[in-house]
Amino acid sequence: MSQLSEKEKKLIIDSIRDVPDFPKKGIIFKDITTLLNNSKALNTLMNHLEARYRDYNLDFVAGIDARGFIFGSILADRLNVGFVPIRKKGKLPYTTVAEKYYLEYGFDEIEVHIDAFNNIEGAKVLLIDDLIATGGTAKAAYNLINKTRANCVECCFIAELCFLNGKSRINSPVYTVLDF
């Protein structure tokens, strides 16, 4: 299993910008745009993920709207598997399956095309996103994959806000590259 060296981990961490009081006062937002525009850090991260998942024999990588699309599509290309976007409600043009999830201020909903995994029962899917906080969106995405009769074999997040314990809400193995 691929492991990041301390030097590689530091390179990736140092490439992520903290933005205080965004989107509201008291929150420190982890801005990955500075990771994306740092080719050395991004390549280090993607090499690590490619090595980790090379032997999983995945059929698809699914990314959560919107930053999961970036990491997911790069990884799917490197692994030579299909990429599936999990989108916010109303953004997909074909028949969808939906899953609601709770937010601190109400509910939201995400969707995937009903045939997103080519109707392959038990298709092996890796779910990826940039960050796991409370785990609500990740749990909904995991449930959505399983509703389509595919099999979410692992959930991968570039970073975790550990104090929110979002991993505990997901009924799947979870891998996080960075822990904050």
Distance (Å) of CA 117 to CA 2, 58, 151, 163: 27, 11, 10, 34
pLDDT in tens, 122-175: 999 999 999 999 999 999 999 999 999 999 999 999 999 999 999 999 999 999
Q: Which domains does the chain have, with CATH numbers?
A: 6-179 (3.40.50.2020)
Query: What pTM did the predictor assign?
Result: 0.95
In this predicted structure, the answer to whether residue 115 has a pLDDT above a threshold of 90 is: yes
> Is position 52 annotated as part of the catalytic site?
no
Least confident residue range of 1-10, 62-71, 88-97, 114-123: 1-10
> Is position 104 annotated as part of the catalytic site?
yes
Q: Grade residue 2 by pLDDT with cuts at 50, 70 and 90.
A: confident
Active-site residue identified among 67, 78, 109, 169: 67
Task: Give the H or E element holding residue 48.
Answer: helix 39-53
Whole-angstrom Cα distance, residue 99 to residue 14? 35
DSSP 80: T
Whole-angstrom Cα distance, residue 53 to residue 56? 5
Active-site residue identified among 6, 78, 87, 104: 104
pLDDT of residue 103: 74
Mean of the per-residue pLDDT values for the chain? Answer: 96
In this predicted structure, the answer to whether residue 33 has a pLDDT above a threshold of 80 is: yes
pLDDT of residue 104: 67
In this predicted structure, the answer to whether residue 1 has a pLDDT above a threshold of 70 is: no
